[in-house]
């Protein structure tokens, strides 16, 4: 039987958790982003965190990459102004004052006081993960989908170390999260006490900053600084480690303590000068084959980017992290570039004479062989992080600053110029259109087998391209990047720099909490899904309408692809099924879902796929669809690691010997 469904009783109108109740019953397709964030922002006084310093003549100007609401004016105090309260209660109120509505926290001995304090808050809801790694990935999903800092909390020792992968992931992908850990009492630090780990030392190189709180009176200032650091400049993770005796100590908090970040604030980039922006326009006017290369740094500048493209007519190639900053459905979109990018995006960069690199870091999965990448082009590099300028590729012109401000400035200059004399890149666009026709993204079908690429195409069709998509890491991740057409920023959530398997399911939890009325789909591989499958329990308990599309090939697909291409197809522990029962699907995803009370189905034939995906989307609440796909499929195109555009592979799969 091609389609198998498990029958799990599920109410069409489950009783949601109090603070997870949707604000409006909008259609998830016509209103893909929940009004929860905007509603919160309308209630609370908003503080805008700037990625750069205001212009000298505009003291009140802001250059906003992140906005989060602060509840100072609307907080209902639980304590009198001069009433002592525990450090843990001070921490929770400090989070409330930063506009935090949800945390992803797993309790333990060293963090119990924090959890007790959370039960006394009417503002903050804890979404209980089933593993600390699930909690930090959920906080990342929340931050990626909303643009607001995500918050996760864990206990000391193994609880804290379980956060490490998520913290590293947030650093590499520039995601604002605040991780809070319990610690053994101060007198026991350094004694190898039970569940003691020096998490500040462990995470020193993978955070923007971390704190060990040694004075309870510092909590208000440290929390304020942590959110500022996480959200300003180049966003990233900040860790706060709080000993248990600090959590228990009584104090009357001083909420008016100033931040102590003079060095950091002084180094925030200033708005770009007009002379530099005019030079960029001059380079564009002198160019014949310009290309925009946009990354995750453009996610907060989507509107300005679109306006810039309207003025110039320059085609846009996106990194994996930048997908959605410019609509993939636009005629000027070249989709993704890099190792598994489109032929025409990589062709455009290879043949370009001007590369406008905005909000990118010239990652090795994009550039391949550095000497050959954009070797004919003058490079203009704009990035908020000075460390990225010239790190991998030397630019002809660079601006260290907020891409949003730079684009606003350029667009203002272009408004006058375009009225007088526009740009003409018609011949270049025709050349690229020919490449699109010659080398489209495509796949083959073998009998009744389901091509994984087709499954994502069908999902894109049935959701009208409006779903928020999360993924694990591997082949399914690349196919989701290639075949789903992202139309807006913060719609595509994936682990890019670290490539952390197990990211997709908990990230979908965070995205669903941040956007209650959205359709959230975790496109996962069986390998990645199993790494955090325990979070099915969280989804069920929180009644989150997360849809899980597992592309199940019973293998570690991307490693298998490399084995096929470079290791003569020698299988080295990449089969994930049961070797004694190769004809059966193992493990049985339907039973895993059933164990957590989640409806599930399995589809094995292409003809049944559309109906199965439609049922998944139409089923109220969560649903898991196990899509059985061939393990021989390869992600193409592919530029081998360290290769150049001339080395691109466009044909073949695991059915062929190399």
- Is 289 an active-site residue? no
Instruction: Classify the phi-psi angles of 225: left when phi > 0, otherwise alpha if psi is within -120 to 50, otherwise beta.
Output: alpha
Residues contacting 557, CB < 8 A, separation 6+: 474, 475, 476, 525, 527, 631, 633
Contacting residues for 471 by C-beta, under 8 A, at least 6 apart: 477, 480, 493, 494, 495, 503, 504, 522, 523, 524, 528
For residue 142, what is the DSSP state? H
Neighbours of 449 (CB within 10 A): 17
CB 125 within 8 A of CB 17: yes
- Name the catalytic one among 208, 244, 393, 547: 244
Q: What is the sign, positive or negative, of the torsion defined by CA atoms of 108, 110, 113, 115?
A: negative
Is 503 an annotated catalytic residue? no
Q: Which of 194, 461, 582, 614 is catalytic?
A: 194
Is 244 known to be catalytic?
A: yes
Per DSSP, what are the bridge partners of residue 602? Answer: 4, 626
Q: Which helix (H) or strand (E) holds 470?
A: strand 468-471
Nearest to 510 by CA among 152, 163, 192: 152
Catalytic residue flag (residue 195):
yes
413 sits in which H/E element: helix 403-420
Asked if 243 and 187 touch (Cβ cutoff 8 Å), the reply is no
Q: Exactly one of 558, 589, 616, 638 is catalytic; which is it?
A: 558
- The verdict on whether 558 is a catalytic residue reads yes
> Strand 64-70 vs strand 45-50: parallel, antiparallel, or unpaired?
antiparallel
What's the CA dihedral at 180, 186, 191, 195 to 10 degrees? -30
β-sheet bridge partners, residue 125: 102
| Beta carbons of 29 and 491 less than 8 angstroms apart | no
Query: Shortest CA distance to 230 belongs to which of 321, 181, 167, 300?
Result: 167
- How far is CA 592 from its chain centroid? 26
Residue written as token pair 């810039």: 308
- Out of 132, 304, 535, 563, pick the active-site residue: 132
Per DSSP, 188 falls in state G
Q: Is 275 exposed, middle or buried (0-12, 13-18, 19+ CB in 10 A)?
A: exposed
Report d(CA 304, CA 577) in Å as an integer. 48
d(CA 252, CA 107): 25
C-alpha to C-alpha distance for 110 and 184, rounded to whole angstroms:
6
* Gap between the Cα atoms of 76 and 59, Å rounded: 32
| Residue entry with tokens 């326009």 | 281
Measured between alpha carbons, how far is residue 294 from residues 32, 233, 339 in Å?
24, 18, 16
Taking a C-beta distance cutoff of 8 angstroms, is the pair 134, 534 a contact?
A: yes
The set of residues, in sequence order, having a beta carbon less than 8 Å from that of 258 and lying 6+ positions away, is 221
- Catalytic residue selected from 26, 112, 188, 195: 195
Q: Which of 521, 573, 510 is nearest to 547 (CA)?
A: 521
What percent of the chain is helix, strand and coil (3-state, nearest 5)?
40, 15, 45
Which residues belong to the active site? Answer: 132, 194-195, 244, 558
């Amino acid at each position: 039987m091609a389609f198998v469904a498990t029958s799990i009783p599920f109410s069409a109108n489950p009783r949601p958790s109090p603070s997870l109740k949707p604000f409006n019953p909008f259609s998830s397709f016509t209103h893909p982003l929940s009004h929860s964030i905007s509603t919160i922002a309308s209630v609370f006084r908003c503080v805008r965190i700037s990625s750069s310093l205001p212009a000298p003549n505009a003291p009140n100007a802001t250059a906003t990459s992140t906005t989060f609401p602060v509840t100072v004016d609307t907080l209902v105090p639980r304590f009198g102004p001069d009433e002592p309260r525990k450090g843990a209660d001070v921490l929770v109120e400090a989070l409330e004052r930063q506009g935090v509505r949800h945390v992803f926290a797993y309790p333990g001995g060293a963090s119990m006081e924090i959890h007790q304090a959370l039960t006394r808050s009417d503002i903050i809801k804890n979404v209980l993960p089933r593993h600390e790694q699930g909690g930090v990935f959920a906080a990342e999903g929340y931050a990626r989908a909303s643009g607001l800092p995500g918050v996760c909390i864990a206990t000391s020792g193994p609880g804290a170390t379980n956060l490490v992968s998520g913290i590293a992931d947030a650093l590499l992908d520039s995601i604002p999260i605040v991780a809070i850990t319990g610690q053994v009492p101060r007198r026991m630090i350094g004694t190898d006490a039970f569940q003691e780990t020096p998490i500040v030392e462990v995470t020193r190189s993978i955070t923007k900053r971390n704190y060990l709180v040694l004075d309870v009176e510092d909590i208000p200032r440290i929390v304020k600084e942590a959110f500022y650091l996480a959200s300003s400049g180049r966003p990233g993770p900040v860790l706060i480690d709080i000993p248990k005796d600090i959590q228990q100590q009584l104090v009357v908090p001083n909420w008016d303590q100033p931040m102590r970040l003079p060095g950091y604030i002084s180094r925030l980039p200033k708005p770009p000068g007009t002379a530099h922006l005019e030079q960029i326009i001059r380079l564009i006017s002198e160019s014949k084959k310009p290309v925009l290369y946009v990354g995750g740094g453009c996610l907060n500048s989507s509107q300005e980017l679109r306006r810039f493209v309207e003025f110039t007519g320059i085609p846009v190639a996106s990194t994996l992290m930048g997908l959605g900053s410019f609509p993939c459905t636009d005629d000027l979109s070249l989709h993704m570039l890099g190792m598994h990018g489109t032929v025409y995006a990589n062709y455009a960069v290879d043949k370009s004479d001007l590369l406008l690199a905005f909000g990118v870091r010239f990652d090795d999965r994009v550039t391949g062989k550095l000497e050959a990448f954009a070797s004919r082009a003058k490079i203009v590099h704009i990035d908020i992080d000075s460390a990225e300028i010239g790190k991998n590729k030397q630019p002809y012109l660079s601006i260290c600053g907020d891409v949003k401000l730079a684009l606003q400035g350029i667009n203002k200059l272009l408004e006058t110029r375009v009225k007088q004399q526009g740009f003409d890149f018609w011949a270049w666009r025709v050349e690229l259109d020919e490449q699109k026709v010659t080398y489209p993204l495509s796949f083959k079908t073998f009998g009744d087998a389901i091509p994984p690429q087709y499954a994502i195409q069908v999902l894109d069709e049935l959701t009208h391209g409006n779903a928020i998509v999360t993924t694990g890491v591997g082949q399914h991740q690349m196919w989701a990047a290639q075949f789903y057409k992202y139309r807006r920023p913060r719609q595509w959530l994936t682990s890019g720099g670290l490539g952390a398997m197990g990211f997709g399911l908990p990230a979908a939890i965070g995205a669903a909490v941040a956007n209650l009325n959205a359709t959230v789909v975790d496109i996962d591989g069986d390998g990645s899904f199993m790494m955090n499958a325990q979070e099915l329990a969280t989804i069920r308990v929180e009644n989150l309408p997360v849809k899980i599309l597992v592309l199940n090939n019973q293998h570690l697909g991307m490693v298998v692809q490399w084995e096929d291409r470079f290791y003569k197809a020698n299988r080295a522990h990449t089969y994930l099924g049961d070797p004694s029962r190769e004809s059966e699907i193992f493990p049985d995803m339907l039973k895993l879902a059933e164990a957590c009370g989640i409806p599930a189905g399995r589809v094995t034939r292409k003809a049944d796929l559309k109906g199965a995906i439609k049922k998944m989307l139409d089923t109220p609440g969560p649903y898991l669809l196990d899509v059985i796909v061939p393990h021989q499929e390869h992600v193409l195109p592919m530029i081998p690691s360290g290769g150049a555009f001339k080395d691109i592979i466009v044909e073949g799969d695991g059915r062929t010997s190399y």
